[in-house]
Amino acid sequence: MKKHLSYEEFYKQWYFRMKSFAREYVVSESDAEDIVQDIFLELYESYPSFVFHVNLVGYVYTSVKNRCIDLLRKRITEQEAVAHIQEEYVLRLRIKFDSLEALNDYLFDNVDVETVIMNAIESLPERCRTILICSKLKGMKQKEIAQELNISVKTVENQMSIAYKKLHELLSKYLELFS
């Protein structure tokens, strides 16, 4: 009749072999050690009932192999996720870089910003333009503007709103550079 090894004997005989086997695949010493320790712990918890029914060495090799595969799959998935995130980050950096280069072209090569703004203000309807100039260039309060132009404060508010919307439309291609 075949003599069965005690858990301690089996551990001493096979632990380092299994760890070397695992290390060949997962490369990291600590990962190999974690895998083999987990398997030997599970084996320890069920050893008495286990040892008589299974080819123990084959079982442990198979368990180590499967855990190595699981870990490698996990690492591959993690690396793919990191690569995807890095790819998106590089793409965003490229967009920002291109935007800055375009800003340089717009501001310094092709556009006189003050002229663009003054032309946009000049294109406003007369009442909007007058109220905007009083508010933003002269620094007048809405109540003062209303009194000077003999209109209601609500009309001043509405005209300012119209002026802002029209300026936004007229200057939107330049505003994109700053967003």
Tell me the domains of the chain and their CATH numbers.
7-107 (1.10.1740.10), 112-178 (1.10.10.10)
Instruction: Give the CA count within 13 Å in the CB-facing half-sphere of 30.
Output: 0
Asked if 77 and 151 count as a contact pair (C-beta separation under 8 A), the reply is no
pTM over 0.95: no
Question: Model confidence at 138, in pLDDT bands (50, 70, 90)?
Answer: confident
Does the pLDDT of residue 61 top 50, yes or no?
A: yes
pLDDT > 90: percent of the chain: 35
Query: pLDDT tens digit string along 17-39?
Result: 999 999 999 988 999 999 999 99
* Cβ-count burial 26-36 (b if 16+ within 10 Å, e if not): beeeebbebbb
Mean of per-residue pLDDT scores for the chain:
83
Higher pLDDT, 55 or 145: 145
Query: pLDDT tens digit string along 75-112?
Result: 889 888 888 888 888 888 888 777 766 665 555 555 56
Q: Please give the pLDDT value at position 179.
A: 47
- Burial group, residue 43, by CB count within 10 angstroms (0-12, 13-18, 19+): buried
Least confident of 3-12, 99-108, 153-162: 99-108
Question: H helices of 105-141, where?
Answer: 113-122, 126-132
Does the pLDDT of residue 176 top 60, yes or no?
A: no
